[in-house]
Chain A
Amino acid sequence: MMTMEQVFARPKSMSKTPFHYCPGCDHGVVHRLVGECLDELEVGDKAIGVAPVGCSVFAYDYFNFDFNQAAHGRAPAVATGIKRVRPDRIVFTYQGDGDLAAIGTAEIVHAANRGEKITVIFINNAIYGMTGGQMAPTTLVGMKTATSPYGRDAQLCGNPIKVSEMLATLEAPVYVTRVAVNTPANLMKAKKALKNAFRLQKEGKGFTFVEVVSICPTNWGKSPTDAHQWLAEKMLPVFPLGTYKDTLGVDKS
């Protein structure tokens, strides 16, 4: 008789609610990685998520633990309040690039600078997804969006903001890394980074930040495959993958 082993299942931290994300969107993939990491670290029942507006505003539907739905850009401040009251919980924010790198710039910089013991997951898809594809602070020069129909003009709108590089200049953060989920190899690295970040928080080490260079097939007007190709060709040269700060050397261990 053959014994069957289950090799793939829904992470315990995740609910049965089907994703509302567009087909092929990276949001769902990253959600799953978050769920797997929390399960593996056995902190799924201790997690508290904070989801501000953006396509992932309904993130709370897909996880089984407590959630706070925050205002646009304010998740790091809300997470600060939660973590200060409940230091034994694993508190994370899940933010888009419009959210984190435009309206919420002050909140992210200062939460990082204070060394809040939270984890920030930053989905950089170079666009405002939820509101229909407007230019984001991370939009590439020349990239066409609803509000940059002639392509982003650096003279008029500046250049894409490199958040990981910026935050890595601060003293307090213990882990700042940029990953992608466009290939199986990158996906494995992304999972390792998320797990490092959550583990560091579990150990009470300090502020951790994982930027995920992502796609928005719908607003980019590309198929998911083409979008991932475009990400590799156009986005990664501007947003190079890698760890920008690793105070405790967790990437090597």
Chain B
Amino acid sequence: MADKVLMKGNEVIGEAAVLAGCRYYFGYPITPQSELPAYLARRLPEVEGVFLQAESEVAAINMVYGAASAGARVMTSSSSPGVSLKQEGLSYIAGAEMPCVVVNVVRGGPGLGNISPAQSDYWQATRGGGHGDYRTLVLAPNSVQEMADMTIAAFELADRFRNPVLLLVDGILGQMMEPVQLPAPTTYDINQKPWALGNPNPRKGGRNLCSTIFLDVEQLEEHNWHLYQKYQVVTDEFAKGAYKHLAVETHAVDDAEIVLVGYGIISRILKTVVEKARKRGIKAGLVRPKTLWPFPSQVLADLAAKTKQFLVVEMSCGQMVEDVKLAVDGKKPVFFFGRTGGTVPSDFEILNEVDKLVRPD
């Protein structure tokens, strides 16, 4: 294993992508993810890869579609307004079952909003975002090390399930510098996917097609159920623990009377809140979804039988809280605390909320 190096979150995603065998990047400039394309603009030519600055996010995601269909490991990155523009392409990519990795370093919205960190793209990321019946896998790291590990996992999941995988990051993580241990490089061959366009190896039917059009209603229905079944397999495998290291982290939940739920940078603040609450004699615990789709519902459902209440904390007006409520299914009350517009809640603010909930007088 290599020594630890000190790196910035956005740059680590770039290096991890290269280590995962990604040789193609297409993107359009936007803050706060600029370090990532800058890193790859320098790094990809060193490994005979292609870095291309596209004319728009729309073009970038369609270049990704083309490169993925030709068998490459390929990535694009952007921030919220740019990711909105990528939704058309994502719908095609998911429909055609092409693997790719899309990074969203989320900023405040709606509209132009601001460039401060936010978590207000949860719905867009986990509900599909574009048109049609489809899903994207969504990973949400909370450290620079996890940004490396999850980038590599994202490429593997994308290939395994032939589906886009989103990395949902916020601006704080993107800018954060932490020591990171980088894994060994993977060798990847564009001809290892028998379905890829231009693959010279013989294949079934004589040629390969990448398409999302099914004029015949029965065929489209069949295709949509096929996609649905694939998403069921993803969900089942996550639920059964095949991706334990990726799915969810729990902390001090066994005896918890209040369970805090948060992802990304918020989960690090919540860990401090749990410690401080316990010092005050409040039995608090933490559930951190690391994968946002499929959502780790079972962990929350199990805890609903044991704990008294949940408090979901997000940098939004409340989006993931809906998934927590679905998982808890009315068995215990689920409360919400959020800051939005680029404000990061302090541990003190959250502790106050916990206090109010646990000692309502």
Name A residues whose Cβ lies closer than 8 Å to a Cβ of B. Answer: 48, 50, 57-58, 60, 64-71, 74, 77-86, 89, 106-107, 109-110, 114
Contact = CB atoms under 8 A, between A and B. Distances in A.
Nearest to A106: B55
Nearest to B91: A71
Contact of A84 (B52, B62, B65, B206): B52
B88 A81 contact: no
Contacts, number: 121
B209 to A, nearest CB: 5
B63 interface: yes
Contact of B70 (A65, A74, A86, A110): A86
B301 interface: no
B89 A71 contact: yes
7 contacts: A50-B66, A66-B198, A70-B65, A84-B63, A106-B58, A107-B62, A110-B54
Given A66-B209, A70-B62, A78-B63, A84 B55 contact: no
A64 B207 contact: yes
Contacts of B210: 66-69
B62 A71 contact: yes
A57 B213 contact: yes
A170 B26 CA distance: 22
B67 interface: yes
B69 interface: yes
Contact of A85 (B72, B92, B206): B72
Q: Which 5 pairs between the two chains have the least Cβ-Cβ distance?
A: A81-B66, A81-B67, A77-B62, A78-B66, A85-B70
A252 to B, nearest CB: 33
Given A71-B89, A74-B89, A84 B50 contact: yes
Nearest to A75: B62
Given A57-B213, A82-B66, A77 B92 contact: no
Interface in B50-76: 50, 52, 54-56, 58-60, 62-72, 74
Contacts of A71: 62, 88-89, 92
Contacts of A68: 65-66, 69, 197, 209-211
Contacts of B63: 77-78, 80-81, 84
A38 to B, nearest CB: 13
B67 A82 contact: yes
Nearest to B208: A66
B212 interface: yes
Nearest to B56: A106
Contacts of A66: 197-198, 207-210
Contacts of B96: 69
B197 A48 contact: yes
A63 to B, nearest CB: 9
Contacts of B54: 77, 110
A48 B206 contact: no
Given A48-B197, A85-B66, A107-B59, 15 more contacts: A58-B213, A67-B207, A68-B69, A68-B210, A69-B210, A69-B212, A71-B62, A71-B92, A77-B63, A81-B26, A85-B71, A85-B190, A85-B198, A107-B62, A110-B55
Nearest to B74: A81
Contacts of B62: 70-71, 74, 77-78, 81, 107
Nearest to A65: B207
Contacts of A109: 55
B68 A81 contact: yes
Interface string B201-224: 000001111111100000000000
B24 interface: yes
B198 A86 contact: yes
A107 B54 CA distance: 9
B206 A64 contact: yes
Contacts of B197: 48, 66-68, 82, 86
B211 A74 contact: no
Interface string B69-103: 11110100000000000001100100010000000
Interface centre among A60, A65, A86 (most CB of B within 10 A): A86
A80 B72 CA distance: 13
B29 to A, nearest CB: 14
Contacts of A67: 197, 207, 209-211
Contacts of A107: 55, 58-59, 62
A77 B72 CA distance: 15
